[in-house]
Chain A
């Protein structure tokens, strides 16, 4: 088989799913670390960090944004293609399906990857609209810089209970998505072994919990502990 064809085989598609999924997992780690600055009562560090990303990197930010968007799109396009193929593989379904249990890793998470994924994709577009392309409030930092007050936009947004609940629900779903996705990505890359697999399965769960709790923590903190807009 030609190399280019291998990439469209059932194994090749899953390879792309796994690789892009792991890259997106890496992205959300950095995103979560950035979010931590929002816990600081002083708004300057977070706003300066946001300003650095949009203005301090020159054209590199456009390259990074393009790559990130491309990875997102690859993950989504392959997910839809793979899921469609899987649905086609069983035109007549079972009257009853009982999970086999035992060594099986089939779970709510593993069987709803496409639904969770679609929801996260829609969420991502809304999330960009809420913040990246959201309201621009300018202010002057303590050291006299005139920059955007994204901190205020976030606090205003999570002063609303429905925004807060929506974000918490989607982040819960992201946690579920990761609880199957992370170890599964490694399995799709062929990385399975006596020593490695138990580790990565455990790591996948821990990672999912940290990401889920981390991303839920911020809106929760803002709405319930600070009362939102300050």
Chain B
């Protein structure tokens, strides 16, 4: 069945740089193929803007297949758009109706200042990672399977936590702009495996201090982060981070 092309109104946040006040501007994009991705629709809009000698809309993107964590905007009030378990680049135009106005905003958080339009500075995450989101020694190649025993459950959970792509949707969706799910995922993914244990206390301590210093809010257990996370990371990660943090604080 042939699909009819649709017309979309995009109400998008335009902001020249971090120090300029931004505002919303509405653009009309005609003849949108419903099978286009959301970002392709923005590409078409940008081409039109360039043709008209306007400044194109800046937005972050890279792999466009949901694995790099680069893209991310708030679409109609939800981080990464209305569908759960997906990134912004996985949003398709068939999810919208003909003639619909789509509201597009950047991630909003003090530690994520807007660089331009929809692009925000997420180096706060990198600074948190630099405080302990790694293990300091080379662990070498794959060891003989039974030399270090890892319970299957731990391995599975560690993999679930390692799925975090650091996109920042958890912060964007959190009513408190808390980074607890991101830090929780990093602390959990390393802490669940034997290679990550020796540095576990130091890691959680330093990462939490950095998280607070960046100015992220505190976690109120709303669970919005889990619901918008493209990798569907559970808030059990946050509880694990808290346990690890308290253990570290005591000892």
Contacts and interface: CB of A to CB of B under 8 A. Distances in A.
Interface of A: 1, 3, 6-7, 9-15, 82, 85-86, 88-106, 110-111, 113, 180, 183-184, 187-193, 197
B123 interface: no
Nearest to B22: A92
A100 to B, nearest CB: 4
Contact of B218 (A82, A111, A191, A197): A82
B110 A88 contact: yes
B161 interface: no
B175 A103 contact: no
Of A90, A187, A188, A189, the most chain B CB neighbours within 10 A belong to A90
A103 B227 contact: yes
Counting chain B CB atoms within 10 Å of each CB, the highest count among A9, A94, A101, A180 belongs to A94
A105 B224 CA distance: 7
A1 B131 CA distance: 13
Given A95-B105, A190-B243, A12 B249 contact: yes
A94 B105 contact: yes
9 contacts: A7-B249, A13-B218, A14-B220, A82-B218, A86-B220, A89-B176, A98-B82, A104-B226, A184-B220
Interface of B: 24, 74, 76-79, 82, 84, 103, 105, 108-111, 173, 175-178, 180, 205, 208-209, 211-212, 215-224, 226-228, 234-236, 238-243, 245-246, 248-250
Contacts of A97: 77
Contacts of A104: 222-224, 226-227
Contacts of B216: 10, 89
A197 B216 CA distance: 26
A94 B108 contact: yes
A7 B221 CA distance: 19
A184 B221 contact: yes
A113 B220 contact: yes
B245 A9 contact: yes
B223 to A, nearest CB: 4
Contacts of A101: 84, 227
Contacts of B242: 11, 14-15, 188-190
B215 A100 contact: no
Nearest to A194: B236
A96 B76 contact: yes
Contacts of B223: 103-106
A14 B219 CA distance: 8
A89 B217 contact: yes
